[in-house]
Homo-oligomer: A and B are copies of this chain.
């Protein structure tokens, strides 16, 4: 196999090139996804917390903070607001470690989460619809790899 220096493309080079194209796209798509939350009267950050509480029913404030990469006091006040809005419940542990509180979504919280997810999915699906079959197929073929991107380690 012969390669001229000028046309060598290493995995690293390709990764950087793809990363450079991917970066603005990710940022742009996300701006819209964040906005879809706001049309439902909640911020993207609150939805992210709500989702994490839903998928880890009974989680504590510290645990949640670590999972979300936030400081515990920030989560504490955010949960205050979610609770005041009727989206989550806080229940002090009675058996076991009585310092902990258990967080859980209310039916209203779960419903809001479903609504936001559905709006976001709809927004994305609408845009996917407007692509050519080939374009859509290429994205469908890449979805698993993209998922691997975030679950690796």
Which A residues are closer than 8 A to B by beta carbons?
A: 11-12, 14-31, 33, 35, 48, 69, 117, 120-122, 124-131, 133-136, 138-150, 152
Pairwise interchain contact B124-A145, C-beta atoms closer than 8 A: no
Please, how many angstroms separate the alpha-carbon atoms of A17 and B18 in the complex? 24
9 chain-A/chain-B pairs, Cβ below 8 angstroms? A16-B121, A17-B140, A18-B128, A18-B139, A19-B122, A25-B147, A127-B149, A138-B141, A139-B146
Pairwise interchain contact A136-B145, C-beta atoms closer than 8 A: yes
Copies in the complex: 2
Q: Nearest 8 CB-CB pairs, A to B? A: A142-B142, A19-B124, A135-B145, A15-B128, A19-B125, A30-B30, A15-B125, A28-B150
Please, how many angstroms separate the alpha-carbon atoms of A138 and B28 in the complex? 21
**Chain B residues positioned under 8 Å from A27 (CB to CB):** 30, 33, 48
**Chain B residues positioned under 8 Å from A131 (CB to CB):** 145, 148-149, 152
Of chain B, the residue at the smallest CB distance from A126 is B15
**Chain B residues positioned under 8 Å from A141 (CB to CB):** 138, 141-142
